[in-house]
Structure 1
C-alpha cells in the first residue's frame, strides 16, 4: 500500500499557503472547470464518486447535498454552506494542518460546493484557539477576493459568493453540526432536536449543508481528475483517500495520507513501528469517541465497513497508539473526564452520567473498586448511549465499554493490587493508605 498525496501534496512547499503558490501547482483549475458545468451535474458527480463525510460519520456527501429542497423562487430562502472546522476530537489533528498549509484548497472546495448546491454565502467555523489558522484563512479569503474567485460574478460566470470565517469559543460540543449552527447564530452551542434537519431548516432556519474541512477539500480533486480516478483508490464502498493521524507511542507520529482500506499494520510500517522495546496494546481508529481496538485488529481494513465489522467506527481516522506500558484504566478515566467536562449539560443522561462515571473511575484507579463497579459502568453506558440529543454521549461511553470488553482483567488487577499495576509506587501508596485506614 502506497501513500496518495493529494490533500497533502503541497505541504512541503514553502509558499503553499499563498494564492500564488497554490495557483502554481494547478490551484483553482478545478473551479474553472466546475463553473462550466451545471450545478446539478456537480452534485451527481460527487454522488457517483462515493465521497463520504471525512468528519467522522461517513455520510455520503453527494446525498447530503441532494437533500436541499427545491424552492419556489418567489419565496425561496437562502441556501448556506457551513464548513465544520471545529476540530475537537481528542487525537484528531488533520484539518488544522490542512488549513494551515493549504487554505486555498479548502476555499476552492467551498466555492465549487457552494455553486453546486446554490449557496451564495458560506461560513467556515474554526476553533478560536487556533489563532494562527484563523489568520491564515482570513488572509487566504482576502487573496481570493482580490483574484476574483470570491465576490460578485466569479470568473465571469454570473455566480456570486461571499465567505465568512467565524472563530468559535472552543467548545467540543460545537463540533456537533446543530450546536455549531446555534453558535454561529450567536447563541450558546447546544444540539438541536432533529427533525427538522439542517438541509431543511439549518442556519437562520434556512436550507444548510454542513461538511467537514477534509470533505470539502476533497471536492476540487474529484472535479479536476474525474469520478473514476477517485474511485480507483480506496474500497468499493469507501472510495478515495484520507489523512490518517498517527499519534502516541509510534516512532514517527504524523499525518499519513493513504487510500481508505489501508491497515494499521501498514501505517505502522510507514511510521517506523512502535517505540523501541515496546509492543502495541490498544488503539483508537478515529479518536477517543470510537471504541478501542487491540493488536488483534492490526490487519482490519481502515474503512467504514471494516471498522463497523469489528464493532467500532472509522471516525476521524485519529489513530491514537498505546503500547504495553500504558494503563488502560487510567487512559479511559482521562477520556471520561474529558466528556464530563465537555458535556453541554442539555441532556440528563449525559450531564449526570459522566459525572458519576468519573467518581467510579477515581475509585477504580485507587484500587478501591469492585467488579460490581464494572457492571455499574456498563449499565450506565447502556442508559447514556442513544438517549441524548447528539452523539457526544455515545462517543463518551465508547472507551468505557470497549476497555472493559478487552481489558476486564486489568480492571480486576487494580482491585487485587490495591492500585494501578503499571505504577509500583502508586500501588504501594494506595496499599499503605488502605492498611492505614483499617487500623
Structure 2
C-alpha cells in the first residue's frame, strides 16, 4: 500500500490497550517482551508524582537491577545512594535523571515514566521498535536498556538541553537543520515496513475520537467546548485535505521521509564533550522519538519552526507567540544547512548548486511547502493537547502543571488562522 494523504477523516478508533497491571512482581521478568523487542521488562509501575519519596527510589532501584542496567546492579549500591532529578519541559512523560556517585565515575541513566493519557496517543510497541531500529542500524538516538510497566530506562548523554533562545542562534539552527536532514535519510520501509501512512493523517484520525470523549466532560466550560468544536474542525480539516492534494509537491521539499515530528528545544541536546574529529553539527543530539513517523520533510520543518514561538519555561508555557516565528532570513539559514545534508546532495540533485539562482529557487519552493504543511502541525497538536487534558479534567484539577486545554485553544486558533492566510477558508 502506498502512503496517501486522505481527503476525509474517519472518526473510528480501536479501543486503547487495557492499563498495565498494578501487581508488582519484583523477581519476575517479562520474557514475552524480551522475545519481541530484545528488551528486558520489569513488572513494576511507578508513580511519578512520588519521585521525592524513599519508596520511589526503592522501586527505581529494583527496576535498574532487574533490567541489568550497566553499573547499577553492583552489589554495593543501595536505594539511598541514588540521586533522582526531574527534568522540566517534558509534556507527554515525566523524565528523570537517575545517577549514583562512585569512586571512578558518576553513572547516570534517563528514566521515562509515561504520561497517564499517552496510551491514547502513542503505540508503545511501535515506538520501541522504531527506537531499536534507529539506535542499532542508524546510530540515532539513545540505547534502550529495558522497560517497566509504565515507562523505560534509556541511555544518558552528558549534555545540556537546549532552551528556547538556543534554537534562534544562527549557528545552532544550522546544526539542527543538518541533523534533521540526517534523520530524514532513514529508510522509511526499514522502520515501518512496506505499508505505512503519513503521521499527519494518521494522528488526526486516531486522536479525534478520544478528543471527542474529553470535550463532553462536565468539568470543561461550555464556551471552551464551543471554541474547540470538533465538527467545525472536521469540516475545516476536510477542506484543507482536498486543497493539500492539489498543492503538495514531493519534488519541492515534501518528499516523504521518516520524520521526528517533535523537534522542540526540549528534545534537542548539546553534547558537553563532542567526539573528537566529528562534524560540528554532531554535537546536537535528537531525543524523544515518540511521535516519529513518515511525513513530508516540509511538515517536520514546519513543526520545528512553530517551536520557535514556544517557551515552555515561561509563566504562560501553553501560549505560542507568533511574533517569534522565524523570519525569511532565519528560515533560509536553516534551509541552507538542511539542503547541504539532505537528499538534494545526491547525484540527481547536485545540479542545484550550479548557480545561485537555482539554489534560491529550491529554497523558495521548500519554503512554500513548509507553509503548505504548517497548518497540519497545529491540527495534530490541538487534538493531542485535548487528549492530554483528560487526567486533569476527570480529576477537576484547577491548577494543572501544564494548561493543555489552553494549549489546544492556541493551536486550534493557529490552524484556522493559517488556513485563512492560505486561502483555504
TM more than 0.5: no
For the superposition of Structure 1 and Structure 2, which TM-score range results when normalised by the shorter chain? under 0.3
TM-score of the two chains, using structure 2 as the length reference: 0.28
TM-score of the two chains, using structure 1 as the length reference: 0.27
More relative contact order in 1 or in 2 (CA 8 Å, sep 6+)?
A: 2
